[in-house]
Amino acid sequence: MKVVILTAALRCQFALLVLLLGLFLQPTTTRADSVGADEGLLFEVKPASSAAPSYLFGTIHSEDPRVTRLPAEVQAAFNACPGFALEVVPDTSAIIEAMMTMTYTDGRQLRDVLPAGLYAEVREALAELSMGEEAFKDFKPWAVMTQLSTPRGETGDFLDVKLYREAVAGHKRIAGLETMEEQLAIFDDLEEADQIALLEETLDARGALPRMFEQLTLAYLQRDLKRLQALSDASLEESEPRLAALFRATVIDARNRRMASRMIQRLDEGGWFVAIGALHLTGETGVVGLLRGMGYSVRRVY
């Protein structure tokens, strides 16, 4: 199940899965409030100055109506902010960058890289997703992995994309905290052997994915960040130790620090609604804890 969480934490807008979570309608004084965050999806963030507050919202890459129907508290915070920041702005240039990164440009094709038996498995699995060989023949192994480990879309109205579209329609200022190149480099920089190993694990785990997606969705709807973290930790325990350590260091901790540091200017301005994958909120090294350590007042709202 490692691959499910791996893609979840990395994906954000479109190539990968971004799964996450939280709880409690009113703020309370708990250890989570003094350090990191074990509960909650929406946090009010205030700088030391008199600037207007901003809001930090944990998302999940899902088009499930239970997820995309925003609670009143979240919708009100979104409406009140003239600025909207997300992990990566899903504009045309980002999509082009993603497609270029996902495919070989050195003359090789996927069949040249994978063992014949594994390639046949991939072809059969992608056929079930209505992807013909012409559509994936130039993909790198990690790119195929993301296709196989992502829930099939029906409407394309995923939560993060929905928020982006509403921000555009509302003429909000829009900013990305990362570039598509930075996000995909985490997979693209993997040794080819590691990419193939992850692809094999994804194929083996496909039957269990629907149940895992439902567990993650339920945790998100319950706003239980601690449960999401537990699901992530459980999956990593099944991982090869080297890849598990790499995941924690690059996909979670390094990105938490990068996104928190890039929020500072906007948080000091005030009036920004910041949406990131909910897994990035939790724990002492999560974004909530990092912002508190930087001197910001962070209060759970929802």
Pairing of strands 173-176, 272-277: unpaired
- Ordered per-residue pLDDT tens for the chain, 302 residues: 444 433 333 333 333 333 322 222 222 333 334 456 889 999 999 999 888 999 999 999 899 999 999 999 999 999 999 999 999 999 999 999 999 999 999 999 999 999 999 999 999 999 999 999 999 999 999 999 999 987 777 788 899 999 999 999 999 999 999 999 999 998 999 999 999 988 998 899 888 888 888 999 999 999 999 998 888 777 766 666 776 777 778 788 899 999 999 999 999 999 999 999 999 999 888 999 999 999 999 999 99
Whether residue 106 is contained in a domain is answered as no
Per the structure, the count of domains in the chain is 1
DSSP string, 2-63: HHHHHHHHH-TTSSS--------SS---SHHHHSS-SB-SEEEEE-SSSPPPEEEEEE-S--
The answer to whether residue 235 is domain-embedded is: yes
Does residue 252 fall inside a structural domain? yes
How many whole angstroms separate alpha carbon 139 and alpha carbon 101? 9
Q: How far apart are CA 121 and CA 106, in angstroms?
A: 24
The CA-based angle 122-128-134, given to 5 degrees, is 60
Token couple for 3: 């691959």
What is this structure's pTM? 0.85
Structural domain includes residue 200: no
Owning domain of residue 181? 2-98+157-194+208-300
Q: Is 105 inside any structural domain?
A: no
Residue 122: inside a domain: no
141 located within any domain: no
Closest CA to 175 of 287, 90, 241: 90
Residue 65 within any structural domain of the chain: yes
